[in-house]
Amino acid sequence: MASKPAPSLSTHSSKTNVRRNLFHHQLSRRPTSTSTSMSGSTLQEPLPDNSSDIVVKDRNGNYQVDIPLLPPLDEEQMQEEDEAAMEKERQEARLLEMWKDKHLQPSDPAELYAAVQAKLRRVVASLDEDNWMFEAEQQTSGG
């Protein structure tokens, strides 16, 4: 009887081997470098350059925001924009008045129709001016 090996020991050791082999690929060690031979030549990273940051910071570490100044508009440009805005407001006020008058008392439908047509013409003219934004770009040959 003493010549028989204990069955629990052999079964237990085979289960341990299976578990160890099951996750062996995850537990593999990375090759270690010899730090004693390279201790004299260590790799030092340069200090980060402040100009390479996306966001500029001042000496205290606060964000520094540079707000660009836009060139001033010419007086002619400002005047044209003001006139265009005033004309638009006048036309819309006129349409609103016509609409109010139409609902309060019968008015000439031809006048209202003409005002709506004028408004639509202005919208179409505005779209024609902005049409360049929606056109396909023309490819120029580099020859």
pLDDT per residue as tens digits for the range 120-137: 999 998 888 888 787 777
Report pTM. 0.26
Instruction: Look at residue 57 in the predicted model and tell me its pLDDT.
Output: 84
82 pLDDT higher than 80: yes
Token output for 87: 């004309």
Give 119's contacts (C-beta < 8 A, 6+ positions apart): 91, 95
Helix (H, G, I), strand (E, B) or coil at 57: strand
57: β partners? 63
The DSSP secondary-structure symbol of 99 reads: H
117 pLDDT higher than 80: yes
Residues 137, 65: Cα–Cα separation, whole Å: 35
Instruction: Look at residue 69 in the predicted model and tell me its pLDDT.
Output: 81
Instruction: Look at residue 88 in the predicted model and tell me its pLDDT.
Output: 92
The residues spanned by each domain of the chain are 75-132
